[in-house]
Amino acid sequence: MKKLICALVVLAMAAPVWADVNITAGIVVDVCDTNNATVTVTFDASGESNNVRAYAVDITLEGDATIISASCAANGYYVYPGSIDISSSGEVDDWGSCVCDDSFDGTQGGVGTSGVTVEMGSLYEDGEPAPADVNTMVVLEITGCGDVNVVVELNAIRGGVVMENPDEAVTVIRTGDSCTLVCAPTYPPCWDYLTQCHGDADGDGDVDTDDWPYFRDGFAKVYPDAAYQPCADYDRDGDIDTDDWPEFRDNFAKTPASDCTPGDPHGIY
């Protein structure tokens, strides 16, 4: 087995014919988990007389966001990354990933960081179906907090975009997209319990002896004291005092109303 190292080379032509290749980064927010989103990056060369043969682009997230996974959606392209495994008989054993390893020259940090370098190429031969002229380059799952902007740029070191016709140079029209990822709460999760404000510190829907230690151990403690028990801070004002006691006392051995407003009303955290 041997490693094939790929470097995409753009040939400089004296009188090139320019092509427009549109690369688009679109963000779709995952409504099931609003601090996550899906980024789909595509190219469109449908207005050109020949196809994109290979490309290397940098995709960077601006803002408080991290790439947690990358899916190479080839759609007619064979993945031809920075390295692929080829057997001694010439068969490809493993196409690897379209995300370049961060050890290669000029690449981004990769999954787990805010940027990846995506590199792919078409390996079809004459007589085989040509690759699609509109293609998904990669689908990224990201997580973060606040405003996030996706920037897509050619990676000149890795070769940028190369067309089927080597006489045709490329100018890329880049368009990006932005979204606002909802920040995960920084306050204690128990403050989202709908019965917590009525003395239910453990959130099981009733006020009983299981809730008493929270109040007892946290009484007279103030945030950020390590002994402060936020789940027993029924008015969520940053301390556990006589203002909190009536909620526990009056609701003991009862099932309180589930009408507490989730969140951190006083901005303690």
- Check: CB of residue 253 under 8 Å from CB of residue 208: yes
Give the fold, CATH level 3, of 2-181.
Immunoglobulin-like (2.60.40)
Half-sphere exposure of 89 (CA within 13 A, CB side): 3
Work out the angle at residue 65's Cα, subtended by the Cα atoms of residues 63 and 70, and round it to the nearest 5 degrees: 130
Q: Which two tokens stand for residue 265?
A: 């009303």
Residue in the block written with tokens 């490693």 = 3
Q: Which two tokens stand for residue 34?
A: 């609003």
- Check: CB of residue 216 under 8 Å from CB of residue 229: no
- Whether residue 224 is preceded by a cis peptide bond, meaning omega within 30 degrees of 0, is yes
Rounded mean pLDDT for each run of 10 residues along the chain, 269 residues in total: 32 51 83 79 84 87 94 63 64 73 88 92 67 83 91 90 79 82 86 97 96 97 95 97 97 97 92
Q: Which sequence spans correspond to the domains of the chain? A: 2-181, 189-251
pLDDT in tens, 113-158: 999 999 887 766 666 666 678 888 889 999 998 889 999 999 989 8
Domain covering 189-251 in this structure, CATH number? 1.10.1330
pLDDT value of residue 159: 85
C-alpha dist (Å) from residue 230 to 21, 68, 245: 55, 32, 14
pLDDT value of residue 102: 83
pTM given for the model: 0.65
